[in-house]
């Protein structure tokens, strides 16, 4: 087909255009007219394509060159040729791999896919980007030239632990924002000074070119990688200008002055880190890895892998994912089962299908606000709220939402659900999380010398010198055993502990490892598989339930599950014609490869609970008989950790059941609405000393109780249940005023073998069905009830306060009487709802009053749920809420 530069073409007529957005449409019309005159019989589709591609190239020239633009169009030998010239030869085209949903950056990709031939030529102070369209539709193999490194001296900048998907999404948003700012400037609505905007465009292009060059030169060994950039020494002021311009653009987007949504929190934090790294390292600072950026709710670097729906489906944590249209795009079995659905039934439905009706409006408003403002409220936070079961009942859960980025720049919202008492958090295992070989707080210095105490970016495979000595030195053996035990002891749950142990083993001892555990129903579950390799040590697609252990199973896994071992394998196990379990185990070796392995049973309390497999690839570093005692010790340490983790989880489950059994059923009283909520601490035990109660006395009065026993453990729960039962018995039997009932309760408390220290409010709501109502109450050191009028006025009922229980049972207690108008709400609550370490009690109570005032006219269910969502996220104490509202006669 010939060299593009030698292609003969008539490029007349031609026309010049200013570097302004309106030039795009003018250039398209010019090319259309010129080609219709030059090629009278040209097919309309060919002319349409030429006009379309002209618009893409002129748009690039306007945005990235910023000089006068020349456009020429002509025909030679039946071939159409269009050339776009500018006066910025240093700004070469940067072709990117842009997925279909990318909002920007498609121009050069479209040219490469639609043109028969294309290229770029530079001359004396000019650059010409051109394309040809041939009538027969044939295409000549060609490619865009990669930009040359910046001319002149360059300073090295190292970006450590750059997550590819997050960078791609942030880059796309940056370019969209700069484009919208340019359009606003052209329309006479400048958001930033034109000079600053031009500087921001230029340095943004430089950064993109440098990263593209680094991605080309660095091997793609994982989603997370470190990138060396070659930046101009004087680039820092321009990068600072880019940061200022983007900040102004974000504000304008939030104020809806630009035709784009603002960035979500993590993208903003990533850009801050990126710009700080460039300017800081140009000033001589050491690199700081993205993975160690201080974590903020909804903005931290916790998610390090791109979105993959397979991670949700294979996760054992109840998980649901939704897109930016609020549609469910992935759900796993545990989440669907928790809410009474099949996973396939939920995919495609709006997320509101799982939200109680009284919270749907709130959800839509909050979701829309997040997209329009970029400001999160519950992202990255553990929030107690109810989910809607398929049968219509409410399921109390804790919700933990984080974001992931797709390769094309979209955002996916990944939510973990758990029953109210089991709390996911930032340290909980997330679907698809692949932890790097170790967190790094610095990177190698730009000159190639490592910073003090800095591990490599990717843990290397043990070298030849290590392999010559098959048995680890004594100190290293002891260190490995200690780290393995500590990893299980310090883990937040069993999954987290197994991942930590497997990471240690693959870093220091083996090329891959697997842990298979027996479940309560005697099934076999592959709980964790990890392999050596930078950025992606885990292999979740190999995890999950295995075929059953049968009498016909004879392979190494089956033997170890029966108690045999340790077993030294010097070649992959045979599995042809064997049981399904043996076949599955053999396929594991086929997938990961192994020239030697050790299979050892995990025993705890004289029972086999699972199997550990450690394997090495390569015959220069095989397992030997001398290493079996060490693997046996590792198996003992791991088995102990697994057994302890299971016992801990069993204890948590028992505590959860106990706590739920202690929560009373609220009575139905004509003329009154009642609602209550309970949420265990998100960080401590699953059972505590907070309680509420409500019952109708023989006199017809409604008793309202809220209390808090000191402590967050089983002892506190036991004391709480005793106090609650005694108070109800005393109140029903004696039918005395609240202050007398509390004094008798305190006397009974002193008779207990373990006297409890507790706070409590006991009150009686008195009145006929049609009103008026009066709240008579006494407080034993508890926070005052809050009265919320239907017009939003609030008042704390501070009278009637006395000493807490357990101090002096003989002391007389005060009583208070307060009128409760129709449609007003009396709120009783425990301190976990409001107290924060960094603020005074007055500030906390003021915040509760303001929040409650905004909800004064909401239904009581919305009132309570909104208080939990707004004030109870990440609570470090238990929360109990009890609210009552007299209803106006209809």
Same-fold call for 309-419 versus 464-644: yes
Of 785, 787, 769, 779, nearest to 803 by C-alpha is 779
Give residue 447's pLDDT: 39
The per-residue pLDDT for 472 is 67
Residue 627 has pLDDT above 80, yes or no: yes
Count of beta carbons in the 10 Å neighbourhood of residue 447 = 6
Considering only CA atoms, give the Rg of the chain.
34
Determine the CATH number of domain 309-419. Answer: 3.30.450.20
pLDDT (average), residues 350-375: 85
In this predicted structure, what is the pLDDT of residue 6?
38
Instruction: Tell whether the model's pLDDT for residue 435 goes beyond 50.
Output: no
pLDDT score for 220: 53
pLDDT tens digits, 300-315: 544 445 677 777 876 7
Q: pLDDT band at 482, cuts 50/70/90?
A: confident
- Rounded percentage of the chain residues whose pLDDT exceeds 90: 34
Average pLDDT value for residue range 378-391: 84
Output the pLDDT for position 656: 65
State in words which class domain 4-133 has: alpha beta
Question: How confident is the model at residue 85, as a pLDDT?
Answer: 94
Instruction: Kindly state the average pLDDT of the residues 372-377.
Output: 76
Q: What is the mean pLDDT of residues 531-559?
A: 77
Q: What is the mean pLDDT of residues 363-367?
A: 84
Beta carbons within 8 Å of 307's beta carbon, 6+ residues apart: 165, 321, 404, 405, 406, 410, 412, 414
pLDDT band at 41 (very low <50, low <70, confident <90, very high): confident
716-764: per-residue pLDDT in tens?
777 888 889 999 999 999 889 999 999 999 998 887 756 778 999 999 9
pLDDT at site 719: 82
pLDDT at 611: 94
The burial of 430, by beta-carbon neighbours within 10 Å (0-12 exposed, 13-18 middle, 19 or more buried), is given as buried
Q: What is the mean pLDDT of residues 148-159?
A: 75
Measured CA to CA, the distance from residue 631 to residue 588 in angstroms comes to 20
From 712, 665, 662, 667, select the one nearest 686 (Cα to Cα): 712
Q: pLDDT at position 95, please?
A: 62
Please say if the pLDDT value at position 151 is more than 70: no
Q: In what order do the strands lie in the sheet with 512-518?
A: 544-545, 524-531, 512-518, 607-616, 596-604, 567-569
| Pairing outcome for strands 702-709 and 690-696 | antiparallel
- The predicted pLDDT at position 516 comes to 94
Per-residue three-class SS string for 299-331: CCCCCCCCCCHHHHHHCCCCEEEECCCCEEEEE
- Mean local confidence (pLDDT), 7-30: 79
54 or 300, greater pLDDT: 54
Q: For the chain, what is the mean pLDDT?
A: 82
Q: pLDDT tens digit string along 233-270?
A: 889 999 999 999 999 999 999 888 998 888 888 888 88
Identity of the highest mean pLDDT range in 202-211, 299-308, 848-857: 848-857
As a whole number of angstroms, the distance between CA 800 and CA 14 comes to: 90
pLDDT, tens only, 183-198: 888 888 889 998 899 8
Residue 654 backbone phi and psi in degrees, to 5: -65, -45
Asked if 687 contacts 713 with a C-beta cutoff of 8 angstroms, the reply is: yes
Q: Write down the domain spans for the chain.
A: 4-133, 155-292, 309-419, 464-644, 663-886
Q: What is the DSSP string of 227-284?
A: EEEEE-TT-HHHHHHHHHHHHHHHHHHHTT-SSSPPPPHHHHHHHHHHHHHHHHHHTT
- Asked if pLDDT for residue 134 goes beyond 60, the answer is yes
> Which H or E run includes 48?
helix 44-60
92 vs 726, residue with greater confidence: 726
Can you give the pLDDT at residue 540? Answer: 61
Phi and psi at 484, nearest 5°, equal: -65, -45
Q: Given pLDDT bands bounded at 50, 70 and 90, which one contains residue 358?
A: confident
* Least-confidence region, from 76-90, 227-241, 374-388, 810-824: 374-388
Predicted confidence at residue 596, as pLDDT, reads 92
Alpha carbon 680 to its chain centroid, in Å, reads: 22
Cα distance from N-terminal residue to C-terminal residue, the chain: 87
Q: Which structure tokens are listed for 23? A: 């030039």
13 preceded by cis ω (within 30°)? yes
pLDDT at 148: 57
Sequence-ordered alpha helix ranges (H) in 61-96: none
Q: Which tens digit of pLDDT belongs to each residue from 631-652?
A: 988 988 899 889 888 887 777 6
Handedness of CA 306, 307, 310, 313 (dihedral sign): positive
Mean pLDDT is lowest, of 82-86, 118-122, 143-147, for 143-147
Q: Domain spanning 663-886 has what CATH number?
A: 3.60.40.10
pLDDT digits 0-9 by tens, 647-675: 877 776 666 666 667 778 899 999 999 99
In what side-by-side order are the strands of the sheet with 411-419? Answer: 328-331, 319-322, 411-419, 394-405, 382-388
Q: Domain 464-644's class?
A: alpha beta
Token pair for 800: 């009637």
In this structure, of 304-308, 395-399, 574-578, 817-821, the range with the lowest mean pLDDT score is 304-308
Question: How far, in Å, CA of 170 to CA of 167, rounded?
Answer: 5
Task: Give Cβ neighbours of residue 315 (< 8 Å, ≥ 6 apart).
Answer: 332, 334, 429, 430, 431, 432, 540
- Rounded to an integer, what distance in angstroms lies between the CA atom of residue 484 and that of residue 513? 13
Q: Would the pLDDT of 682 be above 90? A: no
């Amino acid at each position: 087909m010939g060299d593009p530069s030698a292609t003969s073409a008539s490029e007349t007529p031609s026309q010049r255009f200013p570097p302004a957005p309106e030039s795009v449409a003018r250039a398209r019309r010019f090319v259309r007219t010129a080609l219709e005159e030059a090629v009278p019989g040209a097919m309309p589709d060919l002319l349409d394509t030429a006009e379309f591609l002209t618009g893409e190239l002129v748009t690039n020239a306007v945005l990235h060159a910023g000089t006068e633009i020349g456009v020429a169009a002509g025909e030679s030998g039946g071939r159409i040729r269009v050339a776009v010239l500018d006066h910025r030869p240093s700004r070469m085209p940067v072709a990117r791999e842009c997925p279909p949903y990318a909002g920007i950056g498609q121009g050069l990709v479209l040219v490469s896919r639609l043109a028969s031939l294309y290229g770029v030529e530079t001359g004396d102070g000019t650059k010409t980007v051109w394309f040809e369209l041939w009538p027969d539709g044939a295409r000549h193999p060609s490619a865009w030239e990669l930009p040359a490194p910046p001319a002149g001296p360059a300073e090295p900048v190292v970006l450590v632990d750059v997550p590819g998907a997050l960078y791609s999404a942030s880059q796309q948003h940056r370019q969209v924002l700069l484009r919208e700012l340019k359009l606003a400037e052209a329309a006479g609505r400048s958001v930033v000074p034109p000079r600053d905007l031009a500087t921001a465009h230029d340095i943004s292009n430089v950064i993109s070119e440098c990263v593209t060059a680094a991605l080309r030169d660095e091997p793609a060994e994982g989603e997370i990688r470190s990138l060396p950039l070659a930046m101009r020494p004087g680039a820092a002021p321009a990068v600072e200008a880019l940061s200022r311009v983007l900040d102004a653009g974000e504000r304008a987007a939030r104020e809806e002055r630009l035709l784009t949504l603002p960035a979500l929190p993590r993208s903003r934090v990533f850009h801050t880190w990126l710009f700080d790294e460039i300017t800081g390292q140009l000033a001589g600072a050491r690199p700081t890895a993205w993975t160690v950026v201080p974590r903020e709710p909804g903005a931290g670097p916790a998610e390090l892998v791109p979105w993959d729906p397979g991670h949700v489906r294979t996760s054992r944590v109840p998980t649901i994912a939704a897109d930016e249209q609020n549609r469910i795009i992935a759900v796993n079995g545990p989440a669907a089962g928790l809410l009474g659905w099949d996973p396939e039934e939920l995919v495609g439905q709006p997320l509101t299908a799982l939200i109680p009706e009284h919270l749907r409006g709130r959800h839509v408003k909050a979701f829309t606000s997040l997209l329009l403002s970029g400001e999160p409220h519950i992202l990255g936070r553990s929030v107690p709220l109810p989910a809607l079961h398929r049968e219509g009942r409410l399921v109390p859960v804790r919700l933990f939402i984080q974001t992931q980025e797709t390769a094309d720049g979209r955002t996916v919202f990944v939510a973990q659900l758990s029953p109210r008492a089991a709390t996911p958090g930032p340290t909980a295992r997330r679907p698809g999380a692949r932890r790097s070989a170790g967190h790094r707080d610095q990177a190698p210095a730009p000159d190639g010398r490592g910073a003090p105490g800095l591990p490599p970016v990717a843990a290397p495979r043990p070298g030849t010198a290590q392999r010559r000595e098959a048995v680890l030195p004594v100190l290293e053996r002891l260190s490995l055993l200690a780290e393995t035990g500590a990893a299980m002891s310090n883990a937040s749950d069993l999954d987290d502990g197994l991942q930590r142990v497997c990471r240690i083993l693959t870093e220091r001892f083996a090329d891959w490892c697997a842990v298979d555990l027996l479940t309560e129903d005697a099934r076999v579950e592959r709980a964790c598989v990890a392999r050596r390799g930078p950025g992606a040590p885990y292999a979740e697609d190999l995890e999950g339930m295995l075929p059953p252990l049968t009498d016909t199973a004879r392979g190494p896994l089956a033997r170890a599950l029966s108690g045999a071992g340790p077993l030294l394998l010097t070649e992959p196990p045979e599995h042809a014609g064997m049981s399904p379990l043996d076949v599955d185990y053999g396929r594991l070796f086929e997938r990961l490869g192994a020239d030697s392995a050790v299979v050892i049973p995990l025993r705890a309390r004289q029972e086999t609970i699972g199997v550990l497999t450690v394997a090495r690839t390569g015959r220069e570093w095989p397992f030997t008989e001398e290493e079996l005692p060490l693997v046996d010790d590792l198996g003992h340490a791991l088995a102990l950790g697994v057994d302890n983790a299971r016992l801990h989880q069993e204890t948590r489950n028992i505590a959860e059941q106990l706590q739920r059994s202690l929560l009373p059923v609220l009575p139905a009283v004509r003329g009154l609405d009642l609602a209550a909520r309970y949420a265990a601490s998100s960080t401590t035990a699953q059972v505590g000393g907070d309680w509420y109660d409500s019952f109708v006395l023989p006199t017809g009065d409604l008793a309202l109780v809220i209390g808090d026993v000191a402590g967050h453990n089983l002892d506190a729960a036991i004391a709480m249940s005793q106090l609650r039962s005694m108070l109800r018995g005393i109140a029903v039997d004696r039918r005395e005023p609240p202050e007398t009932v509390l004094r008798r309760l305190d006397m009974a408390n002193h008779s207990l073998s373990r006297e409890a220290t507790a706070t409590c409010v006991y009150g009686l709501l008195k009145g006929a069905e049609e009103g008026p109502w009066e709240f008579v109450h006494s407080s034993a050191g508890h926070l005052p009830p809050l009265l919320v009028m239907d017009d939003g006025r609030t008042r704390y009922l501070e009278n009637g306060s006395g000493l807490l229980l357990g101090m002096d049972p003989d002391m007389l207690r005060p009583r208070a009487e307060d009128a409760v108008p129709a449609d007003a709400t009396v709120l009783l609550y425990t301190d976990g709802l409001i107290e924060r370490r960094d603020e005074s009690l007055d500030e906390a109570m003021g915040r509760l009053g303001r929040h409650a005032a905004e909800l004064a006219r909401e239904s009581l269910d919305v009132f309570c749920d909104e208080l939990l969502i707004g004030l109870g996220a990440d609570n470090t104490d238990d929360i109990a809420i009890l609210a009552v509202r007299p209803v106006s006669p209809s």
